[in-house]
Structure 1
Amino acid sequence: IVVDAVYRLDGYADAYGLTMLRLYSTWFAIWIGAVFLVVGAAFVVGYAGRRWLAPTLVASLLPSLFLLNAVNPEALVAARNLQGSTEVGTVDLDYLLDDLGGDAIPTVAHNTGTLSRLDSDTLDYWCDGDLPDSGPFGWNVNLSVEYARDARSDLCR
């Protein structure tokens, strides 16, 4: 069941592009598969030895969440969508630039050679808009916005 779910999610990503929901759903399906394996191992060990089950499941969840966020999921989604064409045939540049946030903008900026003319027009329109400001003190704790601002200034010259 889990393999089929991951296969279908990958099929949707191939057909319509990868989204954050598809990425997180795929991650969750893989984690559920790991949970099934751990629970199966708990039944093999026997009832008395199942005290380790809940801590093991929690211990598997936290590092995998950390790893998922460490790989920069927004940039991963942007890179996957810019690398290959979908069955629909177009890249949803509005989704990549507006919905994914600052983490995806440097990836889009480094892959502008793969964009069509229509996407280039969308990019020109986007260059006229604003990014979130750095806050009331002129500095920003969120580095992705600063990286996005730098990439955008290089891209929108």
Structure 2
Amino acid sequence: MEIIPGRGVDLVKIGEHRSRVEERIGLPHHGPGGERAVYNTSPMLVITYAADGTVELVEISHSGGGGDAEAEFDGVQLTYRFLDDVVSELHARGYTSIRSDIGHDFHAGFAVWSMHSLWAGDLDPTAGEDDERVISEGVSIAPYSYFRGNET
């Protein structure tokens, strides 16, 4: 699923009303009516809604399947890869970021992150138990100010 930095994905855009989103992709399978809702799409979408019912944040979870089942941007697979490789490829394409406590916040309007629920052996069968490489488990999409306020 291709992301649109600062805006969302083709299925869901920042600022859209929940009713429009659910007309298009159906009711969430977790969190109906709540601030955060999980939708049964491939890959899975987690949408955070503002108090007025509009989309505030779009998140894409890794699927673990690779390929089209993962989030991507500008030819770079963003999820279910080693986080350092993802960040390095994006930086090589000219996208800048600031490190966060769980990943990197990109000025273009997205963040790649890991909650450390996967370990290097999930991607590299030769990885030892002490391999500290982090896997990108998700991407969050919103205007950069959502992640960092007015920081530049």
Structure with the largest fraction of helix: 1
Higher CA-based Rg: 1
Structure with the largest fraction of strand: 2
TM-score range, shorter-chain basis?
under 0.3
TM-score with structure 2 length normalisation? 0.27
TM-score with structure 1 length normalisation? 0.26
